[in-house]
Structure 1
């Protein structure tokens, strides 16, 4: 009998922010050095040990954009199975509490009207967030 060791799939929980400001939404372009190079995303990042989604999101936005946010509404969780790992995106609609953005990880950011969001090359998982954001706007 041959035994094969199969490793467990890595599951990564990533809170992210749909940041609204002056009628527009912030999109961040991923670094060329990261996975999904130069694609667009809603900023956020992996949780640290014992962090809640909300705590992790506030910390990640502070680290990536150098701003403070206020979390307004949680959107439905989306996931993307990449075979060796599953990324679980936990999106929140947010607004800026401070406005002096300084990029530390993204190539660039853009502020877009909601109807302009599909014009960018988004990561696949972020496309689902856009659809859920549209449902959120329609229900407001």
Structure 2
């Protein structure tokens, strides 16, 4: 949490074979059953990328290599504000095992619009699609 009370959260857009990893929040989490890019809260004295590598290992049992930071999104939820900091990541190996989430999918970018997203993730989806369009 920063001086304003905003919670810093990183998320990973893990890419592999032209697809990106999305996860569904469990029924026991806030924003239950909505889809998101996986990640977690940045701890004190932890870099954003170190946090992301740790969180993805803990939550999904896979290795990732962050390679590009995208534009952070500040979003107010009831009772809290988060700064969601997305990173494009290469998949680094491992077999996904869900420890917190209900489900996961490897999704083609064209299918991202078919998911019901956590509100903070929506601008990340839009930026990602624009970035891919600009690469063409």
Aligned equivalents of 2:57 and 2:77: distance in 1? 28
The residue aligned with 2:12 is 17
The residue aligned with 1:123 is 118
Q: Does the 8 Å CA contact 1:15/1:56 hold for their aligned counterparts?
A: yes
Q: 1:48 aligns with which of 26, 43, 48?
A: 43
Aligned pairs, number: 133
Determine which structure has more spread, i.e. the larger CA radius of gyration. Answer: 1
Match of 2:40, SS?
coil
Aligned equivalents of 1:109 and 1:99: distance in 2? 14
Higher strand share: 2
Aligned equivalents of 1:95 and 1:101: distance in 2? 14
The residue aligned with 2:93 is 98
Moved over 4 A (4+): none
1:32 matches 2:24: no
> Displacement, 1:135?
2.0
TM-score norm. by structure 1 comes to 0.90
Q: Does the 8 Å CA contact 1:70/1:94 hold for their aligned counterparts?
A: yes
Shift in CA distance, 34/9, structure 1 to aligned 2, threshold 3 Å = farther
TM-score norm. by structure 2 comes to 0.92
Match of 1:115, SS?
helix
**1:11-59, CA deviations, whole angstroms, 9 ceiling, x for partnerless residues?**
1110000011111111100010010000000000001120011111010
Unaligned segments of structure 1, at least 5 residues: 1-7
What RMSD in Å do the two structures reach over aligned CA positions?
A: 1.4
Q: 1:81 aligns with which of 50, 59, 76?
A: 76
Unaligned segments of structure 2, at least 5 residues: none
